Structure 1
């Protein structure tokens, strides 16, 4: 659960101040809830994004995210420093300036997402303990097992368009799996951004990991994902839970109507004779 900056002990804020050249401004993040503290901190040395946690679950999650962020180059924000003090784990990372992408059909930001995904699809999971598909998603299939590191939560709020391309934040759910799992989890966010289920699958067909998966495997994934979020929506009043239930149900319905084994990219129009 997110807490106010004032929850940090003075000993912790003093050590943060040393690293940023004195704290001039603190701007709490509006999204996310994994860390108890998540704020952009400005000092004379520049701006840093700071996450901190003290509870057992929060510390485990932040320690896990620290390991994932440190293991991957290019896409996550760079880890600048971290320390433990007064019962708190504190991590300072590169502050990313930019906006969240527009993932609606036809948006130029989709090209940025495709470029980032192509790199991630080739990123092996380093040695260490990572989530498995089963303990990340609550369901499993043998085809989901693999050796790649997937972010597993590429919703637009975790994507930032920068001058260096698309960057990805919040790696608390990094999972070791087959690369197509990342793509399957992206379907719900594409639908939520305005794509039909068919359009989402057509866009994903540019990735070899997607076209190589058997239809039955995708059918199973879509059905189980929809069932999970439908169950959660009956137990929750949170809007985002109901959104995910609707989007995953739309995809499962599309699959149940006989989606092709894989959706190929549209053919170029043939010239008229």
Structure 2
């Protein structure tokens, strides 16, 4: 099998590049896409072992995947199952294939850049618009994580997680690289952590990333409040969610301490303190 040199980003952590795939995996993808002219790995993202744009004779395709022997390969099935319900907010899945030890999904390629969350960014209204549309997607009848259990485990009384329950489809990862904006619109990508929960949760997750990007907790909440679903959350629910976020990011730092996770832990703690709750 002839290999196409990957001209994209170099390996980062657990991320592989196109050239690392087995010949069997490459052949299976090529059978679906036609001849591959160029491969370029994505510079951002952490959930997938491979994330690459493939230029083919019929146009570009975005491929993400994991080795089949990974404990978290189930996230591939989650992403595939959720996809029909998130289009056109997210790009359409074209195919899924397992071969040569890899589980790979092909998506329509969307041209765009990661949104900018900084205080002066003109992208902030676009994020509000996207999160508003997301909050209105009802959760499909799939086996998904429940918000009450996912974040309730970080509370002193897990039963308080009931305040996070709801029938909305929650994306839950507001990393700016998961929202791409360009001439054809704004898209939410990377759905492996899709969750069933209250419609305000994504706006609440966004608060932490806004603080991370330089907002004060007060201005971050002001932006989150522009998403109408925010008004459906009672103060107690937001207080408890701030505690859960602070403890979640502390747990993340304990497992993977780096500049980003440390700064996100600080952002989440600042939000909790702003709400007069202390993790």
Could you tell me the TM-score, scaled by structure 2's length?
A: 0.85
Matched, 1:16 2:10: no
Distance 1:66 1:192, change over 3 A: same
Alignment match, 1:79: 93
SS in 1 for 2:145: coil
In 1, Cα distance between equivalents of 2:101 and 2:148 = 31
Mapped contact 2:117–2:124 kept (Cα < 8 A): yes
Matched, 1:133 2:147: yes
SS in 1 for 2:107: strand
In 2, Cα distance between equivalents of 1:135 and 1:31 = 29
SS in 2 for 1:114: helix
Distance 1:40 1:117, change over 3 A: same
Alignment match, 2:60: 47
In 2, Cα distance between equivalents of 1:131 and 1:145 = 11
Worse-matched range after superposition: 210-219 or 135-144: 135-144
Tell me the alpha carbon deviations over residues 220-256 of structure 1, each in whole angstroms, 9 at most, x when there is no partner: 2112321332344355432221011110011111111
In 1, Cα distance between equivalents of 2:255 and 2:194 = 26
In 1, Cα distance between equivalents of 2:32 and 2:254 = 46
Q: CA deviation at 1:65?
A: 1.0
Alignment of 1:214-229 (within 5 A): 214-229=234-249
Matched, 1:35 2:48: yes
SS in 1 for 2:272: helix
SS in 1 for 2:40: strand
Tell me the alpha carbon deviations over residues 190-209 of structure 1, each in whole angstroms, 9 at most, x when there is no partner: 11122110001112222332
Structure 2: runs of 5+ lacking an equivalent? 1-13
Worse-matched range after superposition: 184-193 or 51-60: 51-60
Worse-matched range after superposition: 124-133 or 77-86: 77-86
Structure 1: runs of 5+ lacking an equivalent? 258-273
Larger radius of gyration: 1
SS in 1 for 2:138: coil
SS in 1 for 2:114: coil
Alignment match, 1:156: 176
Alignment match, 1:266: none
Alignment match, 1:189: 209
Q: CA deviation at 1:56?
A: 4.0
Matched, 1:256 2:272: no
Q: CA deviation at 1:164?
A: 2.6
Mapped contact 2:180–2:188 kept (Cα < 8 A): yes
- What root-mean-square deviation, in Å, do the aligned CA atoms of Structure 1 and Structure 2 show? 2.1
Distance 1:130 1:22, change over 3 A: same
Worse-matched range after superposition: 223-232 or 183-192: 223-232
